[in-house]
Amino acid sequence: MATIFTKIINGEIPGTFVYQDDLCVAFLDVSPMTEGHTMVVPREEISHWIDADQDLLDHLMAVSRKVGRAQQEAFDCERIGVMIQGYEVPHLHNHVWPTTKIADFDISDRAEMQTAEQLAGPAEKIRQALEQQS
């Protein structure tokens, strides 16, 4: 059975994408820890990150860094957080989010589900910053 992330990647469920390539995608989290919270997800369904090929892990971190740099430019933040946890969805994914304080790392303190309209502004800020990196 396909994970919710695979369904988002395949367009079966809407997603607010900020980045895509042959190996992975990046889309905004619908229950963000902070504005611009992005998920970097491989197209391949891999449940646990330790089971992924090293080249894929390297690529996911490179994309996470690229997205993080865009977030740092797009949002008023001190740091960019990154976390791999995998309890909510059994599909490898990096959480990447702008942060200004340690409390921003509390994954239990997330915003309510956001609509596509609410995510449009933060997504556009990240996309524009990504374009400037190229």
DSSP 8-state class, residue 3: -
Q: Which two tokens stand for residue 3?
A: 């994970």
DSSP 8-state class, residue 113: P
93 is catalytic: yes
Planar angle of CA 126, 95, 122, nearest 5 degrees: 25
Q: Are 15 and 103 in contact (CB under 8 A)?
A: no
Active-site residue identified among 37, 59, 91, 93: 93
DSSP 11-62: TSS---EEEE-SSEEEEE-SS-SSTT-EEEEESS--SSGGGS-HHHHHHHHH
| Residue positions annotated with a catalytic role | 93
